[in-house]
Structure 1
Amino acid sequence: MRKHFYSNGKLLLTGEYAVLDGALCLAVPTSYGQSLTIEAGEKGKLSWTSTDEKRHPWFAHTFDLRQDLLHSDLLTEKDATAQRLRELFRAAQQLNPDFLVGAEGYEATAKLGFPRNWGLGSSSTLVSNIAEWAGVDPYELLWRTFSGSGYDIACARHNTPVLYRVLDRKPDAEPVNFNPPFREHLFFVHLNQKQDSREGIKRYKSIATDKKEALKEISGITGQITVCSTLEAFESLLERHEQIISSLIQLPTAGEKLFPDYPGQIKSLGAWGGDFVLATARSNPEAYFKSKGYTTVIPYGNMVLETT
């Protein structure tokens, strides 16, 4: 009964925060992802193991399928990871009542292909894989268990960049041919910390301001970026995008805060304050970022899933 599932990681190049209110965003699947392997196990049990990118187990738990899932109100799980998994299983059962019902047992192994603090979608790839295993809508499973727009699920299920928007919980993911001719001048830099996207979303929603014009302009910038042919034009669009989002969330840009002397353009990706930024550069910028204490610098071609 061995089954194997795989989902791509994600990066949101444009439309962070604004995508929550219907703006068009550009998202790319990464060459890093997460797999889930299901095999036969002890009857009535689900033995789960999660490993990191070095294949070292960081979480293991055995669920009793009847007590832990069908009667979850009878048991309070102290481990946060086990609790989150059980919430996912319960939500999947609500969408597919036949999921995990019966006398079978399972051995499940989730293998992450990137460091857990990178913020490339350890949760979204997990949701996508469990949804495929359960035979349910991955977007619906996401929204029943996590907050967010769903762009990460679009990346998990697409092997090309996507133009994504969501209105009234109706996701629209359109594959797009985004392969900029200046891609060798683009780099992803990790900020040495993982940002809690749920906290970022909460902050964005708490700020009362008229976003209509900003959302329209962000959507326009997204469209322009997909057809941009020069690095200079691309940098100009990134700069304007940063200004708009900075105004919306009332936070300084990553460039202003961390890299005021950087000669290229810096753009935050996803929830501001952590994870990766996108940097443009005429030559390899690794020495600059290492001098600032940021040692993870990944060329665009190594990070984004190859689409050719």
Structure 2
Amino acid sequence: MTKEFYSNGKLLLTGEYAILDGAKGLALPTKFGQSLKLRNKNTGTIHWFGVDENDDTWFYAEFSKVDFNTITTTDEATSDRLKQILTEAKKLNPEFLTKIIENSIIETKVTFPLNWGLGTSSTLIANIAIWAGVNPYQLLETTFGGSGYDIACATHNTPITYQRNDFKPIVDEVHFNPSFKDELFFVYLNQKKNSRDAINSYRSLDFNKKALITKIDAITENIKKCIGVTEFEGLLNEHEAILSETLQISTIKKTLFPDYPRTIKSLGAWGGDFVLATGKEEDTVYFKNKGYKTILPFSKMIL
């Protein structure tokens, strides 16, 4: 018997950092994601295969079903993280993985390069939570941490607004399919940002959180109902300026693309992964000439 689960990747258009303190963020599930496939075999242990977008096995481990200790592995750090997740899932549901034969062969498969930052961790947590029958937000809190917006994206097939609310966040599906989407594209910055480090850095700052949340909430609401690209760019620029002042970090446009004529918006942790840029198709040449070859139009990235 085979079971399979699938979760969507994510991009956060508004609310990065502030979403940790309760701001409303506009989040976009992606057409890329990760599946988790379960097969039964009378082994008494768990055999875990991690498969990349090219169908190559990038990770393998064998775990004990008693305590999830690693028997053999190709990557100790990944095995330790999986043990942590499985252990926490078991705490939340003691009936999880109690049958020796059941669910012995596990295959996870991403449909995007692992370094893209679209949610290798969040899609894994979401899939394991479905498998284990536990609250994914609780499982996230005891493993990776974070706001949880990426978990919400994993299980929604339309753009959403997201607000933290303990382990029962406020998630609303929204219609975000701008008429100017042909002028929106995503550029990969050739490096993955560690979101946990970014969160810790944000937590160390001293500022008026209430004022920040009020400003970000207003921008999120205005972007939801925005109908023109000029207005959209103005709202994104305002969002970048507010976060730049709060984080005491220059915007990605000022740092890397100061001469680009249109708008560039960081998505999620600043300094890595993808950014959103506005422009025509011919404007992508600007980024390619600077060495940023991975560029996806809105229609190929967002569900």
- What TM-score results when the alignment is normalised by the length of structure 2? 0.96
Deviations 1:121-149 (A, max 9, x none): 00000001111111111111111111100
Alpha carbons 1:96, 1:136 under 8 Å: kept:
yes
Shift of the alpha carbon at 1:251? 0.6
What value does the CA root-mean-square deviation take over the aligned residues?
1.6
| C-alpha distance in structure 2 between counterparts of 1:7 and 1:168, whole Å | 21
Equivalent residues in 2 for 1:1-308, closer than 5 Å:
1-66=1-66, 68-69=67-68, 79-105=76-102, 106-305=104-303
Shift of the alpha carbon at 1:43? 3.2
| C-alpha distance in structure 2 between counterparts of 1:128 and 1:22, whole Å | 21
4+ aligned runs moved over 3 Å, structure 1: 167-170
| C-alpha distance in structure 1 between counterparts of 2:272 and 2:127, whole Å | 25
| C-alpha distance in structure 1 between counterparts of 2:195 and 2:12, whole Å | 12
Alpha carbons 1:286, 1:295 under 8 Å: kept:
no
| C-alpha distance in structure 1 between counterparts of 2:267 and 2:48, whole Å | 31
| C-alpha distance in structure 2 between counterparts of 1:304 and 1:61, whole Å | 33
**Structure 1 unpaired stretches of 5+:** none
- 1:48 corresponds to which letter in structure 2? W
Aligned residues: 301
Change (3 A) 1:140 1:168: closer
**Structure 2 unpaired stretches of 5+:** none
- 1:262 corresponds to which letter in structure 2? Y
Alpha carbons 1:264, 1:280 under 8 Å: kept:
yes
Shift of the alpha carbon at 1:208? 1.2
Shift of the alpha carbon at 1:213? 1.1
- 2:86 corresponds to which letter in structure 1? F
Alpha carbons 1:41, 1:47 under 8 Å: kept:
no
SS at match of 1:284: helix
Higher mean Cα deviation, 166-175 or 92-101? 166-175
Deviations 1:68-91 (A, max 9, x none): 33xx5x99x981100110111111
Shift of the alpha carbon at 1:282? 3.4
- What TM-score results when the alignment is normalised by the length of structure 1? 0.95
- 1:225 corresponds to which letter in structure 2? I
Alpha carbons 2:65, 2:100 under 8 Å: kept:
no
| C-alpha distance in structure 2 between counterparts of 1:125 and 1:140, whole Å | 14
Alpha carbons 1:211, 1:248 under 8 Å: kept:
no
SS at match of 2:13: strand
Shift of the alpha carbon at 1:169? 4.3
